[in-house]
Amino acid sequence: MKVFTTQQIRDWDQFTISTEPISSIQLMERASMAVANWLSEHCKIHRRVVLFCGNGNNGGDGLAVARMLYLKGFDVDVFIKDFKGEFSEDALVNLKRLESISGVSVRTFNQIEHYKFDDKTIIIDALFGTGLSRPLHGEYKDLVDGINKKNHIKIALDIPAGLPVDGIFDDNFSVLKADYTLTFQCWKRSFLHPETGKYTGKVIVLDIGLSKDYNEATKTDYFVIDERSVKSFFKSRNEFAHKGNYGKVIIVGGSYGKIGAVVLATKSALKAGAGLTFTFAPRCGYEIVQISCPEAMFIEGGEQWIKGFNIDKGTTIGIGPGLGTHEDTQKGLLAFLEDYHTPLVLDADALNSISEDHKNLQLIPKKSIITPHPKEFERLFGKTENSFKRLELAREKAKEFSLYIVLKDHHTQVVTPEGDVYYNLTGNAGLAKGGSGDILTGILTSLLAQGYSEQETCILGVWLHGKAADFAAKKHSKESMLPTDVMDELGSVFTELNKKTEQNL
């Protein structure tokens, strides 16, 4: 699914209006009906709704939703700034329609303090929508701050009041803290970053029938990874295949006290479907790896830590889990990279060793996959003010060094050498545990070995990792789930993915 800018979204509306054809008020009616239907279906316990509506088209949506909910049997009250304000043309039409309904009360913001919100009240934010260009101030800031203090379910229409679409405001800003955001047609970038996404609650994308031709023809650098995009290139297992058809993986890592990391990466490579899997680790991990991963073969690379990287170059290599940063290991790694030119996967201590000198970045083979968390990214490329600027820096560096950067976050971002960005929608806070990244390294190395392109490997890998984590959270809770639980759920994800792929044949 594409992610569009504010201007592109406006153009999408206008293109739909001009080519369908449909009037702007009819399109507003369509969007409002989608909202009203969702609320009617999911809010059956709560029958009282209070809407806060602005003067623009987002307010017009809210006013239309108020009318529709009343006709569906809800008790509805509406607050607007005043009756003399300069409403948009479509918002004014819906205000007049609402005023003709005697059962709906329309009040002004200055009457809020005398209004009694009961326990079953839902608050709906229809104040600004996507047109906001500066932080809230004055009356609207006070209004939003006051709404945030109320202990009621809050639902934002299209985007929470005070939140920009494409970035983040520099100064401290007030934003309505929604429990749900019912957004129209596509995700917005601000929903996908930690500083701003925390305000959206659960995001529900409502299809309001905007032009498919515009969607297909309009270019963007930003996308979200959804099940449809994954299914478009997922390869089901060939019944007549043998182990040689699914690649040869070598997971390089481990040091004294950190053998568990390379075990996790090895196991996940196996679970993700690699044909042959080897663990290249120091001798101190021999018994642990052989007992923990009997399906994998062991290659010794030192005593307490890895010294020499004498690795078969006819394999797909993932380096980093538990590797450590001993001087011998760093020297061996850099010497290996100087003479190695095939794409590989680099994570954890491999990245930390490379970050010791900026010149080392030139040693990474073109089209390799690196998987830094924010702190590792900072060591590699420098500090940034926020996640938006970090992502833009990642785009620059991905182009400069011809790398695929998997920037780990709540919505992990896959950045391609062309500068395209794919936000992952699967996964949860249960992944915030040591070992989760090691599993991702194993998955990515395994998929790359199986013949997926580097881009497909990154997109499918982060989706699989997050989806398995979602299954694990349902079974064990986000608090108690372990990285091993995530790994164990990979089979469930593949089972589901295979079933859905077969259904589409």
Token readout for 87 is: 């409403």
**Six-digit token pair at 215?**
């969607």
For 90-213, strand residue ranges (E) read: 105-108, 121-126, 153-157, 180-184, 202-206
- Output the CA angle 3-9-11, nearest 5 degrees: 135
> What residue has token string 């293109």?
15
pLDDT at residue number 404: 98
Distance CA 348, CA 345 (A): 10
Q: Provide the 8-state DSSP code for 359.
A: G
Note whether 3 and 229 are within 8 A (CB).
no
3-class DSSP assignment, residue 190: helix
Would you call 268 helix, strand, or coil by DSSP? helix
Q: What is the CATH number of domain 231-503?
A: 3.40.1190.20
Q: How far apart are CA 391 and CA 394, in angstroms?
A: 5
Tell me what pLDDT residue 505 has.
56
Residue 70 contacts residue 36 (beta carbons within 8 Å): no
Calpha distance 400→419 (Å, rounded) = 10
pLDDT of the residue at 119? 86
Give the integer Cα–Cα distance in Å for 415 and 221: 10
Query: Which pLDDT belongs to residue 74?
Result: 95
Residue 500, CA distances (Å) to 240, 304, 474, 495, 504 in order: 21, 46, 21, 9, 7
Q: What is the pLDDT along the chain (505 residues), one digit of tens a residue?
A: 999 999 999 999 999 999 999 999 999 999 999 999 999 999 988 889 999 999 999 999 999 999 999 999 999 999 999 998 899 999 999 999 999 999 999 999 999 989 999 888 999 999 999 988 899 999 999 999 999 999 999 999 999 999 999 999 987 899 999 999 999 999 999 999 999 999 999 999 999 999 999 999 999 999 999 999 999 999 999 899 999 999 999 999 999 999 999 999 999 999 999 999 999 999 999 999 999 999 999 999 999 999 989 998 889 999 999 999 999 999 999 999 999 999 999 999 999 999 999 999 999 999 999 999 999 999 999 999 999 999 999 999 999 999 999 999 999 999 999 999 999 999 999 999 999 999 999 999 999 999 999 999 999 999 999 999 999 999 999 999 999 999 999 999 999 999 988 776 5
Strand 413-415 relative to strand 421-424, pairing: antiparallel
Hunting for tokens 């809010």 — which residue is that? 43
- DSSP letter for 451, please: T
Q: Is the dihedral of CA 227, 6, 177, 97 positive or negative?
A: negative
d(CA 46, CA 38): 13
Sheet-wide strand order for 75-80: 105-108, 75-80, 48-53, 121-126, 153-157, 180-184, 202-206
As a whole number of angstroms, the distance between CA 376 and CA 407 comes to 10
Q: What are the residue ranges spanned by the domains of the chain?
A: 6-217, 231-503
Is residue 21 reached through a cis peptide bond, with omega within 30 degrees of 0 on the bond before it? Answer: yes
Tokens of 129: 């929508």
Cis status, amide bond into 374, omega within 30 of 0: no
CATH 3.40.50.300 fits 6-217, yes or no: no
Q: Give the model's pLDDT for residue 84.
A: 86
Query: 210: phi > 0 → left, psi -120 to 50 → alpha, else beta; which?
Result: beta
Residue 226 burial by Cβ neighbours in a 10 Å radius (0-12, 13-18, 19+): middle
Residue identified by tokens 């979204």 is 9
Runs of H (alpha helix) within 368-489: 374-381, 387-401, 436-449, 454-476, 483-488
